[in-house]
Structure 1
Amino acid sequence: MKISDLLRQDQVTLSFEVFPPKTSSSYESVAQATREIAALRPDFMSVTYGAGGGTSEHTMHIASDLHAQYGVNVLAHLTCVSSSRAHVAKMLASFQQQGIENILALRGDIPADGTTASDYHYAAELVRDIKAQGDFCVGGACYPEGHVEAVSKSEDIQHLKEKVEAGCEFLTTQMFFDNNILYNFLYRIREKGITVPVVAGIMPVTNVKQIKRITSMSGTYLPERFKAIVDRFGDNPAAMKQAGVIYAAEQIIDLIANGVNHIHIYTMNKPEIAAGIQASLSEILG
C-alpha cells in the first residue's frame, strides 16, 4: 500500500523506524529486533540507509524481509549526496523487484571529509529521479526547528517547498520535544502552500547518552519539563527508560488531540520501547 493513500484516510496511524546493522556480524540480532517490532503490526515501518549508502545491502534485505515475510508496509530510506545516479537507479530497480513502493528521499549527511558525489546536491533532485524511474510513493524529511545548515527558517521552508513541487507526497519530521514547535511549523508551511501530510517524528529518549548525542548533533530544544525528568531519573536507567516512554506517549496524546494524526516512532531498534508506546496508546489508537 502506498503510504500517501494511508495518510489520506481519516484515521490515526502509528509507524516505527528501524535501522540496519553497520556490519554483517550484527545482522541477525538487528533483524530479530526488527521482526519483533513488526509483530506489533504498525501501519508501516521505515528502514534507514547509512551515510554514503554504506548499509544499502542490509537496508534492502531488512526491508524486503519485513515486506515479504511479515506483510508490513515498508518505507525504505534512500540518500543521494554520496551516490551516483547509476547507484540510485540500481537501488530503485531492486526495490521495485522486491515489491517496495515507498521511498523516503533524503540528501543524507555530508561525509566528515567533505567528499560528495557530483550527481546530487539536494534531496529535490533525488525526488525527481525517483518519480521518473517508477511508480513510487516518495516522502521527504522536514525540520520543525529548521535544518542546521539553513541560513534561516524561511530559507529552509523554501527548500521544503521545492521538494514537494518535485514530487514529494508526504513529510516526516525530525524529532522534537516541544509540541508547540511543531504546531508553529505546521502553520508556517501551510501558509506557504505546503499541503502534503506531515508525519510527526517522536524519539523516546531513554538514557542520558541519547540526550547528549541529540543535542550535540542537532541542537534540538529541550523543554524545562524534559530537563527536570532527566535531572531526576538520569542516574536510574530503568526509571529513565520508563519516564522517556511516558513523556513520548504524552507528547503523542497531545498531538492527536490537536489533529496531528500520523506518528512515527524512532525506536532505536528497541522492541520494548515500541511496545511500550503502543501499549500506552491502545485505547487512543482503537
Structure 2
Amino acid sequence: MLKDMFDRNSSLSFEVFPPKKDDEFENCYKVLDSLSTLNPDFISVTYGAGGSRSKKTVEIASYIQNNLKIDAMAHMTCVGSTEDDILEVTNDLANVGVNHVLALRGDKPRDMSDEQFEKRIFPHATDLIRFLNTHTNLDVSASCYPEKHPEAISMDSDLAFMKMKQDMGAKMFISQLFFDNADFYRFIERADKSGITVPVVAGIMPITSAKQIGSTVTLAGSSVPKSLADICAKYGDSPEDMRKAGIEFAVNQIKDLRKCGMAHIHIYCMNKPKMTKEICTAII
C-alpha cells in the first residue's frame, strides 16, 4: 500500500469509526460500500477508548480489506492496554489479512484512575510503535500534530516525539485536523528540518455543523481561523447552508494543498458518504 500510494503524486484516503451500538452495523457496512465507489487508497478504522471496541475495529477492517478489496488501516491505542492485549488484537488483525495499523497512545478512559494512568504499560505512542515493530510484522503508521499535541510543552518537543516515532519504525504520518493551511505548511517545513523523511498525509475534517467547533475540534486542540469562524457565525443556524459552506471550505483546503504539492489527503469523513462524495467530486 505505502509504496504504491507514495509512488504517485497524490492519494486519497478516509477515516471511519465503528458504531456504538451493534444494531447499527448494517448501516455502517452500507456506508463503507458507498465510500468504496470513490476508490480510496485506503480506509482507516478508529479504536474505542482503551481498546473497548477493538473487536469491532478488526471486524470492520476485515470487511474493508476482504470484501471491498481496499487496503485497511486499523487504529490501535495503548493507553489502557497490556502487552497481551496488544498481541491479541494484532493476532486478530493478522488472521483477517489486515497488515497496517495507526499506532496511538489514545485518550485516558473515563474509568481509569489517575494512578492507573501514571503506571500504564505504554506511556507513549513511541512505546507502542517500538513494541509492534519488535513483536509483529505489521506496517506501522503514526499521527502528527500541525499545531502540536495539546499536551506537548512546545512544538520543538512535539517534533522530537515525531522524530522518535519515525526512529521507532513509523513508515508514514497522518496529521491531526487543521483549518489553516499556512499552519500545515509551517509544520512541514519544521518537520523537514527536524529530520522527518517519511511521508506526511494531511488530515482534513469538513465542518458541516457549527456544533463541531465546540466538540471534536476543541478536543483535537486545533485553532479555528476567522474565515471558518465567520462561516459558523453566518450559517450556524441554517443546517443546509452550513453544510454547503463547510464542504466548500474543505474543498478549498484540499485544492490549495494539492496546488502546493501536498496532495496526499486523508478525509475524516465522519461516516458520511454523501458529503465525502461531494468533496471528492469537487476536487477532481
Normalising by structure 1, we get a TM-score of 0.94
> Which residue of 1 is the match for residue 196 of structure 2?
194
Q: Secondary structure at the match of 2:215?
A: helix
Q: How does 1:30-179 map to 2 (within 5 A)?
A: 30-112=28-110, 113-114=113-114, 115-116=116-117, 118-179=120-181
Distance 1:215 1:75, change over 3 A: closer
Over the aligned positions, Cα root-mean-square deviation in angstroms equals: 1.3
CA distance in 1, matches of 2:245, 2:51: 35
CA distance in 1, matches of 2:21, 2:69: 26
Check the 8 A contact 2:176/2:220 in 1, yes or no: no
The partner residue of 1:221 within 223, 248, 262 is: 223
The structural deviation recorded for 1:156 is 0.8
The structural deviation recorded for 1:74 is 0.6
Letter of the structure 1 residue corresponding to residue 63 of structure 2: D
> Which residue of 2 is the match for residue 235 of structure 1?
237
Q: Secondary structure at the match of 2:108?
A: coil
Deviations 1:168-206 (A, max 9, x none): 010000000000000000011110111110000000000
Check the 8 A contact 2:46/2:57 in 1, yes or no: yes
Greater mean deviation of Cα atoms: 106-115 or 47-56: 106-115
CA distance in 1, matches of 2:141, 2:3: 12
Letter of the structure 1 residue corresponding to residue 43 of structure 2: M
Check the 8 A contact 1:245/1:277 in 2, yes or no: yes
Percent of aligned pairs with the same amino acid? 38
CA distance in 2, matches of 1:227, 1:119: 40
Letter of the structure 1 residue corresponding to residue 130 of structure 2: R
Q: Secondary structure at the match of 1:149?
A: coil
Q: Residue 210 in 1 paired to residue 208 in 2?
A: no
Distance 1:215 1:65, change over 3 A: closer
Check the 8 A contact 2:250/2:279 in 1, yes or no: yes
Greater mean deviation of Cα atoms: 17-26 or 247-256: 17-26
The structural deviation recorded for 1:119 is 1.7
Letter of the structure 1 residue corresponding to residue 46 of structure 2: T
The partner residue of 1:29 within 23, 27, 30 is: 27
CA distance in 2, matches of 1:261, 1:110: 33
Deviations 1:229-275 (A, max 9, x none): 11111111111111111110100000011010200000000011110
Q: Secondary structure at the match of 1:120?
A: coil
Greater mean deviation of Cα atoms: 148-157 or 211-220: 211-220
> Which residue of 1 is the match for residue 183 of structure 2?
181
Q: Secondary structure at the match of 1:83?
A: coil
Unmatched segments (≥5 aa) in structure 2: none
Check the 8 A contact 2:147/2:183 in 1, yes or no: yes
Check the 8 A contact 1:214/1:220 in 2, yes or no: no
CA distance in 1, matches of 2:194, 2:132: 25
Greater mean deviation of Cα atoms: 111-120 or 177-186: 111-120
Normalising by structure 2, we get a TM-score of 0.95
Greater mean deviation of Cα atoms: 147-156 or 129-138: 129-138
CA distance in 2, matches of 1:76, 1:218: 20
Runs (4+) of structure 1 exceeding 6 A deviation are: none
Greater mean deviation of Cα atoms: 8-17 or 248-257: 8-17
